[in-house]
């Protein structure tokens, strides 16, 4: 059949495209010939067409199983656009009422409908199954097929029932499609759908325009992120956090630092959530701080960076999420902040879950940790995880390739690992192999009597880190593999066996050291929100000393929040000191000098990069009211409306706004000024402040005269301070 039609002209006729993308044609031919077909193609590769076109060419109705109810309508609308016949495509999901479903059924029975989209939970309903039994099915398409596997990043139990239901409705070819599948997930999909022998069409998953980097997550992570965003101005970016609480906190911190950011997570009310999403798509906001709930089905082509604030739960998730950067083929920076501690936290969270699920979750996390800690090319590690070999020596677009580490010979170490894996009959995971090498008599080791093995303790000269690096890199080099059925169990491959017989050079790079970096940034001391707790305690000591000398209580000199701010912003001159909340000119003159000297010395001794134009304002230093005012102004809410909604007088609101700009935060209130003020007035007042030697309100009112109201002068002064001083 397939040989007789010209597929390219069909493509042109139905979809208007001139040629097929990637493997599309071969995939479609395979399906048209009645074969089960497995498609692995990155997001944006054009998977939908692989079932849409054949559905139009084959007799009967194609059933498309897809988990994204929200996207179904779009897909159906898109198909209808290609055809004159509305009945050509339909969907059935929980959102349809009885009469809509009846219409769908009528169209299907009349033979008009070529594509029927069904949510998996609707497919399991008896009445739907019974109805479909009487329908001629051309084929079944299982989209987002990774949902079948517990090892995928989006497991859905209903997906496991697809095969039995297909058998009940009536057999027809199956095409399964996904954008992410490790070999393990791929195996699960094929096994579960009973299509072990199907041809697999796999496109490369390499995204050469994406830059991958993993940075140590220290206590300065917020500052690092603010700095990153400021270095990438006016670009769209997504920051992923694991918890809703963190999403909100970080969004607030970014806003308080003048960054146009919004939060997005499933716990927010849906109106705000979709507003934030729309604003991001419309580029009214630059940064979205989100849980991984954000991004499903979002096709913003020019997201320029994706930051992972926390370690992703799996590498598949990481690939999906980073994949949202640079879809147009342009710049896409993917930066992950990693610390071992996050790993432990996540493992703890999993403890309430069933053991099997915990085991899976832990393995997936281990893979992510291995990726983060490894100094091997990120691209190569990532693609290897998806079963693809990347052979370039240096990809030139990841942190490890741009700063290559020295390689060391590990031939003997690899031999020890391979011997140990064989000695324990290829039945154990990496951690266990390392225990054996290190001669650790754990209860598991004792239970298997493995302390009697010859290899037991043979690797005590090297620490765990080294063994980890050897094992990870041996996996990538193909000397070891992980068992697909019992994931994580190490096997020696044929080339591993060959290596043991005649060992050759095997060079590895040491893993990146994240622990060392952490030591430089000591943990926060109890309760303080200073970014630099060491400096904070030094400042406290100085305050104590001065208080004794001057015989005044410490808080009279500076209060704690002021010291915290100093240990965050690092002011080194009396002028800079006055930017600190609670520090006026008088206090700065009277007590400030010694503090500036101390801070300056501390910065020099520790080579601290002072955030001169990077004033990180911790939200804790601001009252909730201030943060909320900043947010409202960012959203261009009229100032009198803000006052109204906060239940304060307009003049009180101006007090707050003044405090905000005087403490160094830039605010843009032009939208409001332009609306309420005469342009000449505005310019006159602005010019006055430009020429004046003082910003005192009384002086301004005297000088400008009765034509100008106090509020007007204050408003323009806010604009002036914000633009000139900050």
Do 615 and 666 contact (CB within 8 A), yes or no? Answer: no
| Rounded-to-integer distance, Cα 142 and Cα 160, Å | 11
Q: Which residues contact 442 (CB under 8 A, 6 or more apart)?
A: 435
Q: Which two tokens stand for residue 51?
A: 């079932």
Q: What is the DSSP string of 339-393?
A: -HHHHHHHHHHGGGS-HHHHHHHHHHHHHHHHHHH--S-HHHHHHHHTT-----S
Q: Which residues contact 511 (CB under 8 A, 6 or more apart)?
A: 373, 374, 375, 465, 468, 469, 472
Return the residue of 53, 377, 445, 542 that touches Zn ion, per CB under 5 A.
377
Interface with ligand ADP by CB under 6 A: which range of 45-53, 336-344, 482-490, 524-532?
Answer: 45-53
Q: Which residues contact 180 (CB under 8 A, 6 or more apart)?
A: 146, 152, 153, 316, 319, 320, 386
Interface with ligand ADP by CB under 6 A: which range of 36-44, 305-313, 318-326, 371-379?
Answer: 36-44
Return the residue of 10, 26, 44, 648 that touches ligand ADP, per CB under 6 A.
44
Residue (40 or 165) nearer to ligand ADP, CB: 40
Residue (47 or 105) nearer to Mg ion, CB: 47
| Rounded-to-integer distance, Cα 168 and Cα 700, Å | 84
Minimum distance from CB of 19 to ligand ADP (Å)? 6
Contacts with Mg ion in 590-649 (CB under 5 A)? none
Return the residue of 23, 45, 149, 180 that touches ligand ADP, per CB under 6 A.
45
Interface with Mg ion by CB under 5 A: which range of 42-50, 224-232, 250-258, 494-502?
Answer: 42-50
Is residue 67 within the footprint of ligand ADP (CB under 6 A)? no
Residue (323 or 592) nearer to ligand ADP, CB: 323
Interface with Zn ion by CB under 5 A: which range of 50-58, 391-399, 515-523, 696-704?
Answer: 391-399
Is residue 41 within the footprint of ligand ADP (CB under 6 A)? yes
Return the residue of 2, 7, 17, 493 that touches ligand ADP, per CB under 6 A.
17
Is residue 401 within the footprint of Zn ion (CB under 5 A)? yes
Q: Which two tokens stand for residue 329?
A: 């083929």
Q: Of Mg ion, ligand ADP, Zn ion, none, which one does residue 41 interact with (CB within 5 to 8 Å by kind)?
A: ligand ADP
Planar angle of CA 303, 306, 312, nearest 5 degrees: 145
Q: What is the CA radius of gyration of the chain?
A: 31
Return the residue of 27, 31, 40, 49 that touches ligand ADP, per CB under 6 A.
49
In 10 A of CB 355, how many CB atoms?
8
Is residue 383 within the footprint of Zn ion (CB under 5 A)? no
Minimum distance from CB of 66 to Mg ion (Å)? 8
What track of x and - describes contact with Zn ion for positions 193 through 222 (by CB under 5 A)?
Answer: ------------------------------
Sign of CA dihedral 433, 434, 438, 442: negative
In 10 A of CB 540, how many CB atoms?
19
Q: Of Zn ion, ligand ADP, Mg ion, none, which one does residue 398 interact with (CB within 5 to 8 Å by kind)?
A: Zn ion
Minimum distance from CB of 151 to ligand ADP (Å)? 21
Is residue 376 within the footprint of ligand ADP (CB under 6 A)? no
| Rounded-to-integer distance, Cα 426 and Cα 102, Å | 57
Minimum distance from CB of 49 to Mg ion (Å)? 10
Nearest Cα to Cα of residue 96 among 80, 76, 78, 110: 76
What track of x and - describes contact with ligand ADP for positions 147 through 186 (by CB under 6 A)?
Answer: --------------------------------x-------
Is residue 88 within the footprint of Zn ion (CB under 5 A)? no
Q: How far is CA 143 from CA 140, 177, 248, in A?
A: 10, 5, 33
Is residue 376 within the footprint of Zn ion (CB under 5 A)? no
Nearest Cα to Cα of residue 711 among 653, 626, 668: 653
Contacts with Mg ion in 43-62 (CB under 5 A)? 47
| Rounded-to-integer distance, Cα 130 and Cα 108, Å | 14
Strand partners, 89: 115
Q: Of Mg ion, ligand ADP, Zn ion, none, which one does residue 21 interact with (CB within 5 to 8 Å by kind)?
A: ligand ADP
Return the residue of 14, 21, 341, 666 that touches ligand ADP, per CB under 6 A.
21
| Rounded-to-integer distance, Cα 163 and Cα 713, Å | 73
Q: Of ligand ADP, Mg ion, Zn ion, none, which one does residue 395 interact with (CB within 5 to 8 Å by kind)?
A: Zn ion
| Rounded-to-integer distance, Cα 497 and Cα 537, Å | 58
Torsion, Cα 284 287 288 292, to 10 degrees, reads: 140
**Residue numbers of the site for Zn ion (CB under 5 A)?**
377, 379, 395, 398, 401
**Residue numbers of the site for ligand ADP (CB under 6 A)?**
17, 20-21, 24, 41, 43-49, 179
**Residue numbers of the site for Mg ion (CB under 5 A)?**
47
């Amino acid at each position: 059949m397939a040989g007789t039609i010209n597929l390219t002209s069909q493509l042109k006729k139905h979809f208007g495209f001139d040629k097929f993308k990637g493997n599309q044609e071969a995939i479609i031919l395979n399906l048209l010939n009645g074969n089960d077909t497995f498609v692995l193609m990155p997001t944006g590769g054009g998977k939908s067409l692989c079932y849409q076109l054949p559905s139009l060419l084959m007799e009967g109705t194609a059933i498309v199983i897809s988990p994204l109810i929200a996207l179904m309508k779009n897909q159906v609308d898109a198909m209808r656009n290609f055809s004159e016949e509305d009945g050509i495509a339909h969907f059935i999901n929980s959102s349809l009422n009885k009469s809509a479903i009846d219409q769908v059924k009528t169209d299907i029975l009349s033979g008009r409908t070529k594509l029927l989209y069904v949510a998996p939970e609707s497919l399991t309903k008896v009445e739907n199954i019974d109805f479909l039994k009487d329908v001629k099915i051309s084929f079944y398409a299982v989209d987002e097929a990774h949902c079948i596997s517990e090892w995928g990043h989006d497991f859905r139990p209903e997906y496991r029932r697809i095969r039995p239901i297909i058998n009940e409705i009536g057999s027809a070819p199956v095409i399964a499609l996904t954008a992410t599948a490790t070999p393990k997930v791929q195996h699960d999909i094929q096994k579960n759908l009973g299509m072990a022998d199907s041809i697999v069409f796999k496109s490369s998953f390499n995204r050469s325009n994406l830059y991958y980097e993993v940075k140590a997550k220290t206590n300065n992570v917020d500052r690092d992120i603010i700095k990153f965003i400021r270095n990438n101005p006016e670009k769209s970016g997504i920051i992923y956090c694991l918890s809703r609480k963190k999403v909100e906190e970080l969004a607030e911190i970014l806003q308080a630092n003048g960054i146009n950011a919004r939060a997005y997570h499933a716990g927010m009310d849906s109106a705000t959530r979709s507003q934030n999403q729309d604003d991001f798509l419309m580029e009214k906001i630059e940064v979205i701080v989100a849980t991984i709930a954000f991004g499903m089905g979002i096709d913003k082509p020019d997201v320029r960076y994706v930051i992972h604030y926390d370690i992703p739960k799996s590498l598949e998730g990481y690939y999906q999420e980073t994949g949202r950067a640079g879809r147009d083929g342009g710049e896409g920076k993917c930066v992950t902040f990693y610390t071992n501690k996050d790993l432990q936290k996540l493992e703890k969270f999993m403890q309430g879950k069933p053991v099997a699920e915990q085991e899976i979750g832990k393995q997936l996390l281990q893979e992510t940790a291995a990726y983060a800690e490894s100094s091997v090319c990120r691209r190569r590690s990532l693609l290897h995880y998806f079963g693809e070999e990347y052979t370039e020596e240096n990809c030139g677009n990841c942190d490890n390739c741009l700063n290559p580490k020295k390689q060391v010979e590990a031939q003997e170490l690899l031999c020890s690992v391979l011997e140990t894996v064989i000695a324990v009959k290829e039945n154990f995971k990496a951690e266990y192999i390392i225990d054996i090498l290190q001669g650790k008599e754990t209860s598991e080791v004792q239970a298997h009597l493995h302390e009697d093995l010859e290899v037991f303790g043979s690797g005590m000269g090297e620490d765990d880190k080294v063994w980890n690096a050897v094992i990870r890199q041996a996996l990538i080099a193909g000397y070891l593999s992980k068992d697909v059925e019992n994931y994580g169990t190490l096997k020696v491959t044929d080339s591993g066996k060959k290596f043991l017989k005649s060992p050759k050079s095997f060079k590895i790079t040491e893993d990146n050291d994240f622990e060392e970096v952490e030591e430089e940034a000591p943990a926060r001391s109890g309760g303080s929100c200073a970014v630099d707790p060491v400096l904070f305690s030094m400042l406290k000591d100085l305050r104590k000393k001065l208080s004794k000398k001057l015989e005044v209580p410490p808080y009279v000199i500076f209060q704690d929040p002021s010291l915290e701010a100093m240990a965050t912003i690092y002011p080194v001159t009396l002028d800079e000191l006055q930017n600190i909340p609670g520090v006026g000119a008088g206090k700065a003159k009277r007590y400030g000098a010694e503090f500036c000297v101390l801070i300056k010395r501390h910065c020099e001794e520790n080579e601290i990069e002072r955030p001169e134009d990077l004033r990180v304002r911790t939200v804790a230093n601001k009252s909730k009211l201030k943060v909320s005012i900043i947010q409202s102004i960012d959203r261009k809410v009229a100032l009198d409306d803000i006052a109204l909604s906060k239940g304060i007088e307009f003049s009180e609101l101006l007090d707050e706004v003044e405090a905000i700009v005087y403490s160094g935060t830039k605010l843009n209130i032009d939208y409001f000024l332009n609306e309420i003020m005469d342009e000449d007035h505005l310019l006159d007042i602005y010019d006055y402040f430009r020429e004046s030697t003082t910003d005192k309100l009384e002086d301004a009112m005297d000088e400008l005269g009765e034509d100008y109201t106090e509020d007007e002068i204050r408003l323009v002064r806010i604009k002036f301070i914000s633009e000139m001083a900050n």
